[in-house]
Structure 1
Amino acid sequence: MFSTVAVDGEVRRWEDLRLQDFAQGFFFGAGFFTTFRIDGGVPLFLARHLARLEASLAAFPGAVRPPARQHLSEPSVRDTLRRCLASDAALGPGFTGVGKLSASDGHLLLTLRPPAPDAERLRREGRALDAVEHGAYRRAESTPNHKGLSYFRQYALMERLPLLGNEAGEVCELPTANLFFHLDGALVTPPLDAPCLPGIVRAMLLEAGHVAGLPVVERPVPLARLADASACFFTNSAVLATGVPRLLGRELPQSLALAEQARALIEAAARRES
């Protein structure tokens, strides 16, 4: 992570932040965050990220003190990002990487980090998924629908990256991504009450309606049905879409091409919205 940050629109240094200003978020995880991709200094889908962040804050009004509304406006965040990039030679106006907005204790913290070191390799080669965490979630549990600062459950599983399932034996998500499967002539993603995070890229693909001629639908995905999947990819805002060339020991050679088509669709949407 870079040392340049911003708190409530004021450009600061990470080492100068005070723990007491974020005590509820630090000690209790009472807050929410969103991570967004930045390409050439331009944040992708920022309005959507802010809308999701505000929706989470509104869902827990008594537990999390939200930042002042003006700090959550898209023009304000864009201006804050611009000033952060301009103030640090290690970043610069053309910065490409990832931004993170964290809302807790009445403050909005913006931090920045470089792209994942394996991002290009993931685009080319994808990532095999060979593990399942059975019963990780309960069906209709609401907290996974929000990207809370209490993120240890997902963080502890990031390196292994298992499929997270619910008590009904259905697929929910990955620790850091939503899942899509080519099943029964459609591109299927688990529903929000599986549960899973309402990912920004996930929503974009559902809105698009089709990827590579396949209808995009939201419905339960039993773990037992994964043996019938002919392709799979996962999505998040940092890497957009990543193919899964091997799923639970089965080779899925169509996954990389399907992920590439999904990524092209999202990149085109990003150009329109940014």
Structure 2
Amino acid sequence: MFSTVAVNGEVRHWETLRLGDFAQGYFFGAGFFTTFRVEAGRPLFLGRHLARLGRSLAAFPTTVHAPPPHVLREDAVRESLRHCLEADAALGVDFTGVGKLAASDGQLLLTFRSSAPDTERLQREGRIIEVAAPGAYRHGDPMPNHKGLSYFRQYSLMADLPLLGNEVGHACELPTANVFFHLGDVLATPPLGAPCLPGIVRELLLEAGHVGDLPVVERDIRITDLVDARACVFTNSAALAVGVTRLFGKALPDSLALAVRVREDVKAMASRVE
């Protein structure tokens, strides 16, 4: 992570932050965060990330001390981001990587990190998923719909990347990504009630309604039905889309081309926003 950060719009250095200013977030996980892609100094879909952050804060008004409304405005965050990039030569105005906004204790903390070193390889070669964790979630539990600072469960599972399921045998998500399956004639993703995070790329694909000629739909997906999957991709804001080349022992060679198409579509959507 880079040393330059911003707190409520003020450019600071990580080393100068005081734990006491983020005590509820640190000790109790009482806060939320969102992670977004930055390309050549431009944050992708920042408005959507802030809207999701705002919905989470509004859902827990007495539990999480929200930052002042003016620092959560998109124009304010863009200005804060620009000031950070200009202030740090290690970042630079053409920075490409990942930004993170964490809201807790009345503070909005903006930090930066480089893209994961294996992102390009994952996009090129895909990833294998061999493990499922049925019962990891409870159907209808609203908490996975919010990206809380208490993120240890997901963090502890990142290396193995199991497909998380609920107690009735439905697929939910991966630890840090939404998941889409080509089943029959549709590209299906689990509904929010499965539950799963309302990811930004997931939201974009559902709004578009299709990837190429393939309709995109929400529906309950039984893990046992994935034997019939023709392709699979997982999505998040950092990597955009990664193909799953083998799922529970079944080769899915079409997943890489599907992931390429998803990334192309998302980047086209991003270019239309600006």
TM-score bracket relative to the smaller structure: over 0.9
* Residue number in structure 1 paired with 2:112: 112
| Separation of aligned partners in 2, 1:80 and 1:170 | 41
Alignment of 1:168-183 (within 5 A): 168-183=168-183
Quick check: 1:227 aligned with 2:220?
Answer: no
Alignment of 1:39-188 (within 5 A): 39-188=39-188
Quick check: 1:23 aligned with 2:23?
Answer: yes
| Separation of aligned partners in 2, 1:73 and 1:187 | 34
- Contact 1:169/1:222 (8 A) holds in 2: yes
Query: Taking every aligned residue pair, what percent have the same amino acid on both sides?
Result: 66
| Separation of aligned partners in 2, 1:4 and 1:91 | 8
Normalising to structure 2: TM-score of the pair? Answer: 0.99
- Contact 1:177/1:235 (8 A) holds in 2: yes
Q: In the TM superposition, what whole-angstrom CA distance separates every residue of 1:13-41 from its partner, at most 9, and x where no partner exists?
A: 10100000000000000000000000000
CA shift, 1:123, in A, is 1.1
CA shift, 1:212, in A, is 2.2
User: How many residues get paired?
Assistant: 274
- Contact 1:25/1:105 (8 A) holds in 2: yes
**SS of alignment partner, residue 226 of structure 1:** helix
Quick check: 1:254 aligned with 2:254?
Answer: yes
Q: In the TM superposition, what whole-angstrom CA distance separates every residue of 1:183-232 from its partner, at most 9, and x where no partner exists?
A: 02100000000000000000000011111211000000100100000000
CA shift, 1:148, in A, is 0.2
- Contact 1:36/1:49 (8 A) holds in 2: yes
Q: In the TM superposition, what whole-angstrom CA distance separates every residue of 1:44-65 from its partner, at most 9, and x where no partner exists?
A: 0000000000000000011001
| Separation of aligned partners in 2, 1:195 and 1:76 | 32
**SS of alignment partner, residue 51 of structure 2:** helix
Q: In the TM superposition, what whole-angstrom CA distance separates every residue of 1:152-201 from its partner, at most 9, and x where no partner exists?
A: 11111011110000000010000000000000210000000000000000
- Contact 1:133/1:162 (8 A) holds in 2: yes
**SS of alignment partner, residue 79 of structure 1:** helix
Normalising to structure 1: TM-score of the pair? Answer: 0.99
Structure 2 runs not aligned, ≥5 long: none
| Separation of aligned partners in 2, 1:137 and 1:272 | 36
- Contact 1:233/1:259 (8 A) holds in 2: yes
**SS of alignment partner, residue 196 of structure 2:** coil
| Separation of aligned partners in 2, 1:109 and 1:16 | 13
- Contact 1:212/1:258 (8 A) holds in 2: no
What amino acid is aligned across from residue 216 of structure 2 in structure 1? Answer: V
Aligned-pair Cα RMSD in Å: 0.5
* Residue number in structure 1 paired with 2:269: 269
* Residue number in structure 2 paired with 1:191: 191
- Contact 1:136/1:166 (8 A) holds in 2: yes
